[in-house]
Amino acid sequence: MFSIGQLSERTGVKIPTIRYYEQMGLIDVPERSEGNQRRYTADGLNRLSFIRHSRDLGFSIEDIKGLLELSQHPEKPCHDAHGIAVQHLKNVQDRIAKLRRLEGELKRVSKCDADSVAECAVIEALADHSLCETNH
Amino acid sequence: MFSIGQLSERTGVKIPTIRYYEQMGLIDVPERSEGNQRRYTADGLNRLSFIRHSRDLGFSIEDIKGLLELSQHPEKPCHDAHGIAVQHLKNVQDRIAKLRRLEGELKRVSKCDADSVAECAVIEALADHSLCETNH
DNA sequence: TATAATCCCTCTAGTAGCTATAGGTTCAAG
DNA sequence: CTTGAACCTATAGCTACTAGAGGGATTATA
């Protein structure tokens, strides 16, 4: 049996976050000690580790609920789990693409050797209406 | 003079967002019509465009406050504006690096041709303790 | 066994940057 | 003058936590 602090140490998930996951229904409500403190089993530890890994990979709480549900039913086809992962991969690739465009833009904007704000390329670029999609 | 709806249309910033920016102190409190509706000038339009462009480039509200402050003082050295942009560029590059590591990991995890969850590489990878930094 | 240090409890509110809703008022066109 | 669109405020909700207050429980040491 682990206390919440021990669970936290072993999984790297902070204590308030564990309680938050409990509230969100991601982890089972654990047993309590006589003094009303949470007591976890190895099962609880494994489940929390699963959640931790999933969060590290950027899966949302909702995604993780789905993945956990699936992991409890080993006889089901893995098609759904695969789908969640692939969808998430697409999201990540989208975000990378967007950030790279941003990076290019910021690099361009940051190339500024002016002395005063009056000629600063950064400020100028931000104020520049030619960037606008709409007409004004 | 523009109404908030016209301003929204011209800048592409949604109406509730404009009111939110006003609350956050990003834009000046505008004049009001007799009936208490907001009325904006060309100045307000330019300022909001500036904000829109900055948000598109991912600058935080706090960053934008700094940039706006600078843009109001053309005689100041542009060093600060440049610093904000470069710092932000670094953040973006960090995020790209992290997402690319994630992408690699997700690609690996998603390569799953199993039939059932029991052997699914996705679920297995998430449950795998060897990913853990901490010992358990 | 007493006490102190550390841990744990609940509840509330705050973070970023909006978005949505409810219930009401004003404006502009016909 | 009426009607419908646009506007107003205030409040709550979103994600995934994090921080703090004010207290109780557990454990180690004296």
Separation of alpha carbons B101 and B84, rounded Å: 26
- Where residue A37 falls (left for φ over 0; alpha for ψ -120 to 50; beta otherwise) is beta
Answer yes or no: do B57 and A103 touch at CB < 8 A. Answer: no
Residue A64 has pLDDT above 60, yes or no: yes
Task: Return the C-alpha torsion angle A25, A27, A49, A46, nearest 10.
Answer: -150
Q: Per residue in A31-48, pLDDT tens? A: 999 999 999 999 999 999
Separation of alpha carbons B43 and B28, rounded Å: 10
Dihedral sign, Cα of residue B122, residue B127, residue B131, residue B132: positive
Q: pTM higher than 0.85, yes or no?
A: no
Secondary-structure percent of chain A, ordered helix, strand, coil, rounded to 5: 65, 5, 30
Q: Per residue in A75-109, pLDDT tens? A: 888 888 888 888 889 988 988 888 898 898 888 88
Residue whose entry in the numeric block shows the structure tokens 């011209």: B10
Strand C nucleotides, any atom under 7 Å to a protein CB: 7-11, 16-21, 25-28
Which of the four pLDDT bands, split at 50, 70 and 90, describes residue B99? confident
Of residues B106 and A19, more confidence is placed in A19
Residue A135 has pLDDT above 70, yes or no: no
Name residues 3-22 of chain B with a Cβ under 7 Å from nucleic strand D.
Answer: 3-6, 8, 15-16, 19
Separation of alpha carbons B21 and B15, rounded Å: 10
Average pLDDT, chain A: 88
Å from A135 (CA) to C30 (C1')? 29
Q: Per residue in B30-72, pLDDT tens? A: 999 999 999 999 999 999 999 999 998 889 999 999 999 989 8
A113 sits within 7 Å of strand D by its CB = no
Contact residues, chain B, for A48 at CB < 8 Å: none
b/e per residue B33-53 (b: at least 16 CB within 10 A) = eeeeebebeeebbebbbbbbb
Q: Per residue in B10-30, pLDDT tens? A: 999 999 999 999 999 999 999
